[in-house]
Amino acid sequence: MSVILYHNPKCSTSRNALALLREQGVEPTVVEYLKTGWDRETLERLASRTGLGLSGLLRRKEADAKALLDAGADDEAILAAAIAQPILIERPIVETDKSAVIGRPVERVLEVL
């Protein structure tokens, strides 16, 4: 099974998700999205596969993400903002052949294994 972890190593929840995957015998492909950034195709795929839409991927604790939500930003505005500021997307996200999920709480990553 292919497992991708969209990861921020400075985030304890993201580190815990990586540890939980490894405890399950899974060595994921780790994508440090703050270094690599996001592209339209990946964000649209994750929005669809999580079932949350693009607005559901936004990290509400980030002021700029909250401003987008409060303004009722459309998908194009969210995509542009997330590509320009990768920190706006929630973490961690785990994607497998089965589905994708935001790992909050961290145990949610088990749902897609």
Residue 39 in 3-state DSSP?
coil
Could you confirm whether 17 is annotated as catalytic? no
Catalytic: which of 11, 19, 80, 84? 11
In this prediction, residue 1 carries a pLDDT of 87
CA angle 64, 83, 63 (to 5 degrees): 10
Mention every residue, 6+ apart, whose C-beta is less than 8 A from residue 37. 83, 86
In this prediction, residue 100 carries a pLDDT of 98
C-alpha torsion sign, points 10, 5, 61, 37 = positive
Write out the chain's pLDDT in tens, 113 residues: 899 999 999 999 999 999 999 999 999 999 999 999 999 999 999 999 999 999 999 999 999 999 999 999 999 999 999 999 999 999 999 999 999 999 999 999 999 99
CA angle 68, 90, 1 (to 5 degrees): 140
CA angle 44, 48, 53 (to 5 degrees): 80
